[in-house]
Chains A and B, each alone.
Chain A
Amino acid sequence: MKILVCITHVPDTTSKIHFTDNNTKFDKNGVQFIIGPYDDYALARAVELKDQLGASLTVLNVGEAETEPTLRKALAIGADDAIRVNAFPKDSLFVANQIAAIAKENGYDLIMMGRESIDFNGGMVHGMVGELLGMPSVSPVMKLEVDGDIVKMAREIEGGKEYLEAKLPLIAGCQEPIAEWKIPNMRGIMSARTKPLQVVEASVDGVNTEVIAYQLPPAKGSVKLVDKDNVPELVRLLKNEAKVL
């Protein structure tokens, strides 16, 4: 059984977002990069499945050289080897094409991703890869068990859960509580240094979208405080000033 986990290299969730070059570039200054939180859930579950099923586990990122520490971290958490497609992830279809090309070559049984990346929040790459490979894709998956060639999943739907079954091969976009995030231990960190990290060039070109400028939302005005002994005043403001009641 071969498992592939696709990870993003994204700003830490506490990052303040800024842009430079006349609002055309993301300002990396002082920003810490992490494995996308949803990808981290996918990876954590994949490590458990690897141990349980004796599977092999590869992690993949489409990104430039700066993403390698993030891939090394995934190796430290428990992946066996890593692949980096050496290209700026221009848009989701571009990324999906690269992932699909690698998957065609290597034939994975289970491809796990995050439900969405936290930079562009598309929630699309898993569906695109699914379509490119002619495989089912399911997202957002909050529980995933493998039983022979059957995958049993719980998927979050608005207001509840849906239980599904499908046959491998399959693509899952994951979210909590599929597994607990794993923190690399010392042994993991040491062994990650020597695990294989293969760099390949992009094999499919072409993009459909291009970001030409970024914008920050307008600053929020200051809060209007209502005295705790005058609660009806809040309702009055919501009704007459904000007009939301």
Chain B
Amino acid sequence: MSVLVYIEHAEGSVKKTSLEAVSYGKALSDKLSFGEVVAVALGSISADELGKVGSAGASKVIHVNDNKLNEGIIQAHADAVAQVYNQVGAGTLVLAKSSLGDAVAARLAVKLNAALVSNVVELPDNTSGYKVKRSIYTGKAFAETVVTADHKILAVKKNAVDLKTDGTAAQVEEVTLSIADANFATKITSTDKATGEVLLPEADIVVSGGRGMKGPENWGMIEDLAKELGAATGCSKPVSDIGWRPHHEHVGQTGVKVAPTLYVAVGISGAIQHLAGVNSSKYIVVINKDPEAPFFKAADYGIVGDAFEILPKLTEAVKAQK
């Protein structure tokens, strides 16, 4: 029984979280002695990018190079992945948790009559039954979940396994599918996307600012530090509510949930709803002028002081260590 991994890409570049999903699929197949790890990639993607998928652990990549699938039309993607899943005779589908991934996986759970487990943080344990650990209550707890259905879909959370690249090439198979027009019922009329930025949900380092930054005119300091660190920028909810920063940067319970190796919070108090979005970070650095700010309790490192003095010094120090 093979493992199928659904690949997401942004304008042709395969997402890092999808490569992690491939490594997860490979580790899963090794652990449970499943068969081949096959990846399915939809839309136009270069051979180089598909190569990364092989290197992350897939032995075969099924490439459906159909321009109509370039955009993330949920129903169309679900239909295509279901066809491939059945063609390769897979038993498990692995994908990275994301807003498109969730939507596609949900429809596939019905199509394939499969059990869907989301926010998976570890490899399954099959010593007695089939158990999967997943994150719940926005990272505040975990649930040990027993899966009974034969077909399984696992939506893995960032950092569930380490991305392993071994440089092996996968066999790429170009496939044409027929996807009914009804699956294209939602039409994307335009997109409005910042280019060249590090994507927040994917980022290894995130620098976020809160209301303590006083105004949008001061964000240059956040951006300078982020640039020096190769980080994405984020913010607290009030900051995006007032319009200092775009909505897609809002981190927390009601915003983006991030899981970077390093999260730097500047002038953010650390309300429980904000913490819910960052509690999967490996390390947290807090810069706040108030030593009583709750964020310090969730932090690994901190500096008590004025952000406007500390940020330029920190950016300098990062530059200096390179």
Contacts and interface: CB of A to CB of B under 8 A. Distances in A.
B109 A128 contact: yes
Interface string B93-116: 000001110111111011100111
Given A157-B99, A234-B303, A165 B279 contact: no
Interface string B220-246: 000000000100000000000100001
B262 A238 contact: yes
B47 interface: no
Contact of A232 (B149, B187, B283, B317): B317
Interface residues of B, number: 94
Contacts of B317: 231-232, 234-235
Nearest to A115: B99
B175 interface: no
A137 B103 contact: yes
Contacts of B162: none
Chain B binding surface SS class: mixed
Contacts of A213: 143-144
Q: Which 3 A-B pairs have the closest CB atoms?
A: A127-B106, A228-B305, A160-B193
Interface of A: 11, 13-14, 17, 19, 37-38, 92-93, 96, 115-116, 118-128, 130-132, 136-140, 142, 156-167, 173, 175-177, 207-217, 220-221, 223-228, 231-232, 234-239, 242, 244-245
Contacts of A215: 133, 141-144
Given A160-B194, A165-B189, A223-B299, A92 B116 contact: yes
B183 to A, nearest CB: 9
Interface of B: 10, 71-72, 74-75, 78, 98-100, 102-107, 109-111, 114-119, 131, 133, 135-149, 185-194, 197, 199-202, 205, 229, 241, 246-248, 253-254, 261-262, 272-273, 276, 279, 282-283, 285-286, 296-306, 309-310, 313-314, 316-318, 320-321
Contact of A245 (B119, B185, B318): B318
A212 B131 contact: yes
5 contacts: A121-B135, A158-B200, A209-B146, A210-B146, A216-B140
A214 B144 contact: yes
Contacts of A231: 303, 310, 313-314, 316-317
- Residue among A96, A123, A140 with max Cβ neighbours from chain B (10 Å): A123
A240 to B, nearest CB: 10
Contacts of A175: 254
